[in-house]
Amino acid sequence: MTKIHRRFADRVAGFVRDWSLPRQIAGESPYSKAAESSLSQNLRPRLTEADKVGTIICPYCAVGCSQLAYAKNGRIIHVEGDPRSPINQGTLCPKGSATFGWLTSERRLDHVLYRAPYGEHWERRPLAWAMDRIAWLVKQTRDETFVDELPDGTLVNHTLAMASLGGATLDNEENYLIKKLFCGGLGMVWIENQARV
């Protein structure tokens, strides 16, 4: 009951505070200052709430626009153009403007899904299990298919049975490790990304 009373009291207080008639009588314009509500009075851009801000590079095309990403309590609260960048000077295209929407999309996956051979459904599996399983499959495939030389004795040291696609959306460092592990370590030759498509 006290709670309700307080709420009622708040409402009355809020109403009186926002009620513009006294302010109009005091000479403020009924269309502007006198009509200003408490919400309006206290309004601030939500960027002021950010406890962290960083520079990111727009993740869509290759123009390389800079963005400022604002976060609060470990969650991104907004992304917009970085005015300091000589490339985009604060602007963004419709895709770049949707970066915040992408990062916070409700369609984002946050767990591993696994589909067993001949399975009819996705199943959830722990990340560590999937990593172990993938490593084992890679080793098995490689061991069964590795060729050191062609029948004519030409050295090849490769496996043709594994392939990798992708890289153009990833960081340079990620591409470097992909090529290093897959080519330099495992001997894969089918390594490609979006550059040709």
Which of positions 96-115 make contact with another protein (CB under 8 A)? 96-103, 105, 107-115
Asked if 74 interacts with another protein (CB under 8 A), we say yes
Asked if 13 interacts with another protein (CB under 8 A), we say no
Residues 120-179 that bind another protein (CB under 8 A): 120, 122, 126-127, 130-139, 141, 145-146, 148, 150, 154-179
Cα gap 124→165, rounded to integer Å: 24
Reading the block at residue 7, the tokens are: 């709420």
Q: At 116, which amino acid appears? A: A
Q: Name the minimum Å distance from CB 116 to another protein.
A: 6
Asked if 28 interacts with another protein (CB under 8 A), we say no
Q: Name the minimum Å distance from CB 26 to another protein.
A: 15
Reading the block at residue 41, the tokens are: 């009075």
- DSSP class of 186: T
Q: Name the minimum Å distance from CB 7 to another protein.
A: 6
Residues 35-64 that bind another protein (CB under 8 A): 35-40, 43-48, 50, 52-64
Q: Name the minimum Å distance from CB 169 to another protein.
A: 4
Q: Name the minimum Å distance from CB 122 to another protein.
A: 7
Count Cα neighbours of 91 within 13 Å in the Cβ-side half-sphere. 6
| Alpha carbon distance, N-terminus to C-terminus of the chain | 67
Reading the block at residue 79, the tokens are: 């992304």
Asked if 2 interacts with another protein (CB under 8 A), we say no
Binds another protein by CB under 8 A, chosen from 2, 15, 27, 151: 15
CA–CA distances in Å: residue 75 to residues 45, 52, 70, 154: 17, 9, 8, 55
Cα gap 81→40, rounded to integer Å: 26
Is 60 in a helix, a strand, or coil? coil
Asked if 7 interacts with another protein (CB under 8 A), we say yes
